[in-house]
Structure 1
Amino acid sequence: MAMFEKADRSAKKPSFIIDDSDILLKRMQEGDVVFFTGAGFSKSWNDNYPLGFDLFRIDKETPKMNIFNVADSIHIYQPQREDEIVEKENIKNKLKEQLEYFKMSLNQTHSKNIELIINNFDRHLRLKTKIKDEASNNIDYRYKKECYNYFKEIKFSLDVFKRYPSLIPNHLDKTIIRKMEVEIKNFVKDKFKTLVGEDELNIKSKKDINMDFVVFFKNLYLKNKNTTFISTNYDYIIEKIYYHIDEKIVINRGAIEHRIFDEKAWEKSPISLYKINGGFDVFYKSDSEFYINHDKKKEDPNIIIPSNDQDYSDKYFKNVFIKSANKLREANTLVFIGYSLPDEDNIIKFLIKNFVDTSNTNKEIIIISRDLESAKLIKEKVDIIFPILKGNDAIKIFTKSFNDFIKDCSNL
């Protein structure tokens, strides 16, 4: 009996696990909630949305840009993709060897063993195909990461030149540096449109609308209107969700939004959205004035480009950081959705710490990722940022993906 009791205790669910969608939904419906969304949130909305390094991949179709020549001139060289042709040729030669062995075996073997040989050869073929696919995926991942690091290095160099003008090489000047930054931003925006389509940058478009998201956030809006989104993404997903709930809903962005002002529809809103890496809808009228406009197609967006030392010093980012920090202090619940706290996001980690910069001790963090294992990995990082919450057992992880969660909620 004691042995069974011991087994039961060892199988007990850890206290930081939430596996009941009803429990999680109730946490989101109570008090002030901040949703902190990363690329995984957008990927849940539409599988075509980019993750990680996808926006920075240089393809054969990538148009000629000045930035590549400038990078060469400061000894930052474009990554070269490993030769898949060589890889495929190696696999092809190995298959030929297998085929020759197969033919030789047929000549030397009685007919009763032929079926066994064929099955073995078929298994070898499947194995080779798997090896080929894995090799191709590995090559592709490494290349995308190298492209990402290439742009990171370029942006870091441009930032250094802006900060220390005496270090600018003779063949460059401030105007060229500014234009190079604009080129990179437009490269990212064009890559995004190529991957997901133009309609994803039209909040009114009904094409590929994820109604599971719309229904979930509509029901949440009816229960709890005090909701804030802090997003590292450039896209329009959150705006599209609320536009399709009710086009009259105003989202507080901490900046002038032209559509709302033009329609004379501005009002104080309980729904807030702060894009802390900028967005394809953020623009500057002058050095001191920025605004939101989802209909601008040809002007240069204000977005953060990855760098070895992220620069959030301009007026837009100072403004959204202040407002985000205030919302984090006011919130009872912080929900991470599809955000993995990458190592380079050091400034953002300082921002997140404002969640506990308050006398309110009734605080809880919930992590939702693509599955339980990835959520556990993120929790390890969150535990380091919030040791007091960890000690209070106030950092929880949900066992399912966000898509699974909102589908569960539709049945509650």
Structure 2
Amino acid sequence: MGIFDPLRLLAVVRDPMSTMVGGIVEVLRMAKPKKSKVKKPAAPKVSDAAQLFMSLVEQFDYRQGPNAAAQRLTNVTFFAGAGFSKSWDPNAPVGSQLFSLKTEVMEEVANIGVLSRMFGLDSLSRITPDQLRQIIYQMDMYERYPDVRSRYVDEQNIAMFRGALRAAIVDRYNELTQLNYFDPAASKFPLDNPTVEQLEIVGFFRNLLAKTDGSTGFAEGVRTHFVTTNYDYVIETILDNVLSPDDSHFLYSYRGFTPIQIVDGPNNTPVHEHWLTQHLLKINGGFEILRRGSDYILDYSQRAPSSIIGDPPIVMLASREQDYSDPYFRTIFPKVVRLMRESMVLVIVGYSLPEDDALLRFFIRQFAEEPEDGFGKYIFYIDINENSQKRKTLEAVFPSMVTLDQPTVITYQGSFSAFAKECISLSPAVPDPF
């Protein structure tokens, strides 16, 4: 076996006359260094993962000049879990933190005596994540099987209980940190006093935005998309602040459904143009998604608990038996599957792919359902957990990784902001629109 040489890897990627996929895969297979007694050099400031990612971005970038050949449009999809928001905001909840709830909001629907009899709740204690799963499961059973409802439970107060739980989730999020509500005066998601890490993340996505072109009428270059398990507004904030102050990401982001209203106004882009559009698909719903009959609106305003109880957002809450039968999810899921299949690069950020999330694992599997689908495709897995654990998890999702090394997997142990910082250090700065 040869010694892993990042420069050789970069040369293979950057040489337009080379067979990129075969070259990269062969080098990655040879990436087992020989044992040596020589003292190891200091760790490089830029990881191999960041170097390879930016080399792929350069490879897929559109070409300029009078004789430049057209490039295909390459989809780079970010699958963002709770760790993505955590990298943006250190106070953002991860794991089960979001599902430890106060009982006060629930008491707006029923007094503590009723809550104690129905769910075993205590006004002096918080609702634990396990209790929440049981409550949601109980509500699901009441709704699905009316015959098992207790004497004083009906469709109306089931809906009130569900609304109260969602109000409690919003309250818990704002207890841990703060949702970044839309600012109508600025027509933007504000980014006041951004941290260094936030500026690095915005710079990273601004750099990727500059790699897309459609001025000739033919969409080419790199197109970024987002699939997220998160309810919050972090991605919207990033996308809005990548653009100039007088522009809005609402014009370019397809949500998998067409809202009839955004904030307080009509949807100005009911049908998107392909060369301008990126996906933002929230597979667990979002705090802003409200139902209006068979339609939806996006409301990013701060609302009182009573308003949320009466008009709850569409969010999937943890239960003993996940129920994705809501029409919203039936609308979103086919869009997720198609996007996975059409993507060339998948970047998984801050998501552990737990075994309980079998359906979400199935979605990710659509990126390369068969070994042949994985040839020429890349997965970057960015997370603070051990690289060996990340690879083991992906091998369970993509069995072909074990025998055929397809798709090509590159792991990065660290925060997304650290990865973004390394990437932008390798690329010329994109002018700040501010």
Contact 1:310 1:347 in 2 (8 A): no
Identity %: 28
Show the counterpart of 1:155: 136
CA–CA separation in structure 2 for the residues paired with 1:376 and 1:186: 39
Q: Deviations over 1:242-278 (max 9, x none)?
A: 1112234421112234339737355324311100000
Q: 1:381 to 1:65 in 2, by over 3 A?
A: farther
> Is the 1:66–1:180 contact (alpha carbons within 8 Å) kept by the matching residues of 2?
yes
Q: Which residue pairs with 2:414 in the alignment? A: 400
Separation in 1 of the partners of 2:116 and 2:232?
31
Closer, same or farther: CA 148–229 of 1 in aligned 2, 3 Å: same
Cα pair 1:33 1:331 within 8 Å, conserved: yes
Letter in 2 for 1:178: A
For the pair shown, the structure with the greater C-alpha radius of gyration is 1
Long gaps (5+) in structure 1: 13-17, 82-142
Q: Which amino acid aligns with 2:335?
A: K
Answer 1 or 2: higher relative contact order, Cα 8 Å, separation at least 6.
Answer: 1
Task: Say whether the 8 Å CA contact 2:101–2:168 is kept in structure 1.
Answer: no
Q: Between Structure 1 and Structure 2, how many residues are aligned? A: 337
What residue identity is the alignment partner of 1:281?
E
- After superposition, the Cα gap between the structure-2 partners of 1:399 and 1:204, relative to the gap in structure 1 and judged at 3 Å, is closer
Could you give the per-residue CA deviations for residues 348-403 of structure 1, whole angstroms, max 9, x where no partner exists? 122222222476332222210025x1x43233222111101343322321133211
Match of 2:210, SS?
Answer: helix
Deviation of the 1:228 alpha carbon: 1.5
Match of 1:166 in 2: 147
Of residues 206, 216, 232, the one that matches 1:235 is 232
**What amino acid is aligned across from residue 360 of structure 2 in structure 1?**
I
Residue 333 of structure 1 corresponds to: 345
Structure-to-structure mapping, 1:327-366, within 5 angstroms: 327-357=339-369, 360-362=373-375, 363-366=377-380
Find the counterpart in structure 2 of residue 305 from structure 1.
317
How does the TM-score come out when normalised to structure 1? 0.73
Q: CA separation in 2, counterparts of 1:244 and 1:7?
A: 47
Partner residue of 2:279?
Answer: 272
Within a 5 Å distance, the mapping from 1:373-392 to structure 2 comes to: 373=386, 375-392=387-404
Q: Which residue of 1 aligns with 2:292?
A: 285
Q: Distance in 2 between matches of 1:220 and 1:19?
A: 19
- Residue among 280, 298, 301 paired with 1:295: 301
Match of 1:254 in 2: 256
The answer to whether the 8 A contact 2:262-2:297 is kept is no
Give CA-to-partner distance per residue, 1:57-79, whole Å, 9 cap, x none. 24598774546655532354459
Take 1:196 and 1:308, find their aligned partners in 2: how far apart are those partners?
27
Change (3 A) 1:272 1:25: same
Question: Please, which of 360, 367, 370 is the counterpart of residue 384 of structure 2?
Answer: 370
Secondary structure of residue in 2 paired with 1:36: strand
Within-5 A mapping of 1:9-408: 19-27=48-56, 30=60, 31-58=74-101, 64-66=107-109, 70-77=114-121, 147-200=128-181, 203-209=188-194, 210-224=198-212, 225-246=222-243, 247-249=247-249, 250-257=252-259, 258-259=261-262, 262=266, 264-265=268-269, 267-268=272-273, 269-286=276-293, 288-295=294-301, 297=303, 298=307, 299-357=311-369, 360-362=373-375, 363-371=377-385, 373=386, 375-393=387-405, 394-408=408-422
1:264 is aligned with what amino acid? N
- In structure 2, do the counterparts of structure 1 residues 6 and 40 end up closer, same or farther at CA, with 3 Å as the change threshold? closer
Q: Which amino acid aligns with 1:349?
A: R
For 1:158-203, what per-residue CA distance to the aligned partner results, in whole angstroms no more than 9, with x for missing partners? Answer: 1111111111112312211111111001100111122222545655
Letter in 2 for 1:147: T
**Unmatched runs of 5 consecutive residues or more in structure 2:** 1-32, 41-46, 61-73, 213-221, 427-434
SS of 1:218's equivalent in the other structure is helix
SS of structure 1 residue aligned to 2:208: helix
CA, structure 1 residues 388+166, in 2 after alignment: closer, same or farther (shift >3 Å)? same
Q: Which moved more, 1:231-240 or 1:247-256?
A: 247-256
Q: TM-score, normalised by structure 2?
A: 0.70
Provide, for residues 198-219 of structure 1, a one-character-per-residue CA deviation record: whole Å limited to 9, x for no partner: 5456552222542221111010
Amino acid of the structure 1 residue aligned with 2:168: F
Residues 285, 60 of structure 1: alpha-carbon distance in 2 compared, 3 angstrom cutoff: closer
Query: 1:306, CA displacement in angstroms?
Result: 0.6
Higher helix fraction: Structure 1 or Structure 2?
1
Amino acid at match of 2:374: T
Which letter maps to 1:326? Answer: R
* CA displacement at 1:227 relative to structure 2: 1.7
